[in-house]
Amino acid sequence: MGKIYDTIIIGGGPAGLSAGLYGARSRMSTLVIEQGKFGGQIVTTDEVENYPGCEKNSTGSSIIARMKEQCDGFGVEFIKETVVEVCLDGDIKKAVCNKNTYEGKTIIIATGAYPRQSGFQNELEFRGKGVSYCATCDADFFTDLDVAVIGGGDSAISEAIYLTKFCESVTVIHRRDALRAAKSLQERAFNNPKIKFIWNSIPEKAFGDEILEGLVIKNKVTGETSELKVDGCFVFVGYIPITELFVGKVNLSEDKYIITDDDMKTNIPGVFAAGDVRVKSLRQVITAAADGAIAATTAEKYIESLE
């Protein structure tokens, strides 16, 4: 019979790594399964200023590298595989991957979320040819060019500000007449001479000859359409939780986030969720890390209750 871990963590972002750190540090045998790059969305963030205690000029990648180093120091095992199925009932849970099946007394789901598409015509056709979902990844390609940003929340406005370091101009297109971003971000954006705003509007269509040349914009109030010539379009209109594996296995909200209590417990004993994948009011690195710590600590108490 193979090894039975105390906890298996699915996902290697801040929530998963924090859970790994707390789990291994409390002497639990801990496995983190990650299918892609460790770090999740934060590794696409150029500058992290709001994670308490982080050093000046910290990047998403540098914070994740340190988190992983800490996990290594306490003996967390890491495996790069894709989980294709989970068996959550009973005392021993299973994470079935492409190559192997892993067993654990508890499972912590930390699969995160991914960017939502805006839904305008030709959006996917121009993805990677002018349409992007990550300013940190792609801003450099648009040096001295004109770009649009779709959205009005924290991520949209912080990315718009970041883009001004590279781009000639940044036009924020927002479906409402006021931003939803934090007031401090709004002030910075309104005071930045490179940022312009188009209110009450949505992109209807992207156009260009092989690469993006512009957008057709529709005003939701008047119904009028106009063309905006841009070389790039950055879409920041929210996220979709990565929960396909867990449909019908744990309780989900209407928009498919995992429902937990304050201790990160799902409705299945021994199964916990942490980070962006769960129902919560603030999705930030600090709340993901906090979730991971709570989930691992609760998992430890759960295991004690079995013994």
Strand partners, 278: 258
Q: Say which residue the tokens 């450099």 belong to.
A: 140
Q: 6, 71, 138, 231: which one is catalytic?
A: 138
* Those residues with Cβ within 8 angstroms of residue 293's Cβ, 6 or more apart along the chain or in another chain: 18, 19, 21, 22
- As a whole number of angstroms, the longest Cα–Cα distance in the chain is 67
Q: What value does the CA radius of gyration of the chain take, rounded to a whole number of Å?
A: 21
Query: Can you tell me the distance from the alpha carbon of 72 to that of 165, in angstroms, rounded to the nearest whole number?
Result: 36
CB 283 within 8 A of CB 251: no
- The DSSP element (H or E) to which 157 belongs, if any, is helix 154-163
CB 275 within 8 A of CB 15: yes
Q: Show the DSSP H helices in 166-240 as ranges.
A: 183-190
Question: Does 138 participate in catalysis according to the annotation?
Answer: yes
Question: Does 137 participate in catalysis according to the annotation?
Answer: yes
Q: 89, 91, 137, 140: which one is catalytic?
A: 137
For the CA atoms of 130, 133, 138, 144, what is the dihedral angle to 10 degrees? 60
Question: Does 54 participate in catalysis according to the annotation?
Answer: no
Please state the separation of Cα 137 from the chain's center in Å: 14
Give the closest residue to 117 by CA, choosing from 94, 150, 157: 150
Please give the positions annotated as active site.
134, 137-138
